[in-house]
Chains A and B, each alone.
Chain A
Amino acid sequence: MNAARDGRQLNLVPHDGHPVIGIGKGLTSRDVIDSICDLSFKHIVQQDGLSFDRELRAACQMVNDPAAFFSNPLEVILADAADPVTVLRILSTADEKKQKVLTEFGKYLDSLRGTRAIVEQALMVADELYTNGAKNAWKVNGCIDKTAPARKGTLEFFAQAGDSRLVFGCRDSFGELKMTDVLERIRKCMELGVANAIRQGEGGAGIGSYMVFDACLSYYAGVTPGKESVVCVTMPLGLNRRTMAGLPKNIHLIA
């Protein structure tokens, strides 16, 4: 058992042989973020979550062989459940518009089975991931400066379906994502509420990270400083919204 910041006992124990993997049960979203920020875990995997065995296997693989995650996050996350014909990859440069990616992803979602209840949220998450990725890739003082010449680099949007989960996310070729900042922004939105976070100067990126975490089932992120950042999520396939709302979240970080 581990204690939360407020002294509550969390149903969370380290996984055998992997002290950075926490095995939890019934943890709230807030518990998950607090456990990552305050304790020494890099992964929280919930026993009562969807695809627990595969989530745990992915966590172990990310710890043992982080390069495998950077090389092919879809394979690490979906493993033997991956449907090979559902791979989507869209490579963008600084000149391309977000709308192109969202339109293509929207068509992709329509072509898959079991996406009815997640389409709107998945498009919102894709929007946030792509926008944040683009900001990190082609930023000037944290914003995309449309007048400045863009530095060379790419942003890849990827997706694949498994038997019960859809994985999608973004990879940039810069590796400047600050995971501690992202986690603190999410926590700030949870603590203060989104409106207060906005009032306290939290920009779109902070609210966006919170919205992504709130909407997804599992959040995966890895950063190789100066080389690449990968952020992706899983969402459930074939479930109704009421069932989805009751599922606990997982998180996996390499940073």
Chain B
Amino acid sequence: MEFKSTQFIEGETLVLKLEGAIDEDAAFPSVETEKFSKVVLDLDGISAINSVGIREWMEWIRPIAAKVSLVFRNCPKAMVFQINMVEGFLPQGASVESFYVPYYCEKCDKEQNALFVVGKDVAVEGGSVKVNFDPNSQLQCSATDCELEMDVTEAKYFQFLTR
């Protein structure tokens, strides 16, 4: 899927909705940082990222983060993996507002992605991560005996929250 970006302005906040694959063909939008105090990156539509994309991302994001408050919203798994693996992928001072966590039920053979809002569904207390999300009441499944389980290693996937 081809990379594209759409901009929305909400007062002093610029919301950038990014979609598609972040790779060698991705053309990142220029951001007029002097016009905004905050930039929100809505990453819901990001389908994939490759190594060239990581390098380009790092070059694009660093100067933006140096000038405005930066927030990542709706981070898909692919972005969470990079946030954990690449120091600076989430620049210092930037924060994650929400991110997806995969849940899987072996009985139904069904995967669902839950959107965790930081501070509500997951929080850091005393240096450790506490999950407050109840998949059985908050995710939709038609099977009555469905047993949704988080399908990531918590210590690894939530690592970025404790940095």
Contact = CB atoms under 8 A, between A and B. Distances in A.
Contacts of B50: 124, 127-128, 131, 204, 208, 211
Indicate the size class of the contact surface on chain A: 20 to 34
A67 interface: no
Contacts of B58: 195, 198
B85 A242 contact: no
A84 interface: no
Contacts of B23: 127
Interface residues of B, number: 26
Interface string A194-234: 11101000011111100100100000000000000000000
A107 to B, nearest CB: 14
B19 to A, nearest CB: 16
Nearest to B50: A127
B48 A242 contact: no
Nearest to A196: B87
Contacts of A128: 50-51
B107 interface: no
Contacts of A246: 153
B139 interface: no
B52 interface: yes
Given A128-B50, A204-B51, A208-B50, A241 B153 contact: yes
B86 interface: yes
Secondary structure of the A side of the interface?
A: helix
Question: B51, B85, B104, B156 — which one has the most chain A CB atoms within 10 A of its CB?
Answer: B51
Contact of A240 (B52, B54, B104, B156): B104
Interface in B78-110: 78, 85-89, 102, 104, 106, 109
Given A127-B23, A195-B58, A241-B152, A204 B86 contact: no
Contacts of A214: 85
B151 A123 contact: no
A145 interface: no
Contacts of B147: none
Contacts of B151: 117, 240-242
Contacts of A203: 55
A48 interface: no
B163 to A, nearest CB: 13
A131 B52 CA distance: 10
Interface in A129-160: 131
A193 interface: yes
Contacts of B49: 124
A245 interface: yes
A80 interface: no
Interface in B18-36: 23-24
Nearest to A246: B153
B153 A245 contact: yes
A101 to B, nearest CB: 13
B55 A207 contact: yes
B48 A195 contact: no
A16 to B, nearest CB: 36
Contacts of B54: 194, 198, 204, 207
15 contacts: A116-B111, A117-B104, A120-B78, A124-B49, A127-B23, A127-B48, A131-B24, A131-B50, A194-B87, A204-B24, A207-B54, A207-B55, A240-B151, A242-B151, A242-B152
Interface of B: 23-24, 48-52, 54-55, 58, 77-78, 85-89, 102, 104, 106, 109, 111, 151-153, 156
Given A207-B54, A211-B51, A242-B151, 13 more contacts: A116-B111, A117-B151, A120-B77, A120-B78, A124-B48, A128-B50, A194-B86, A195-B87, A204-B51, A204-B54, A206-B51, A242-B153, A245-B156
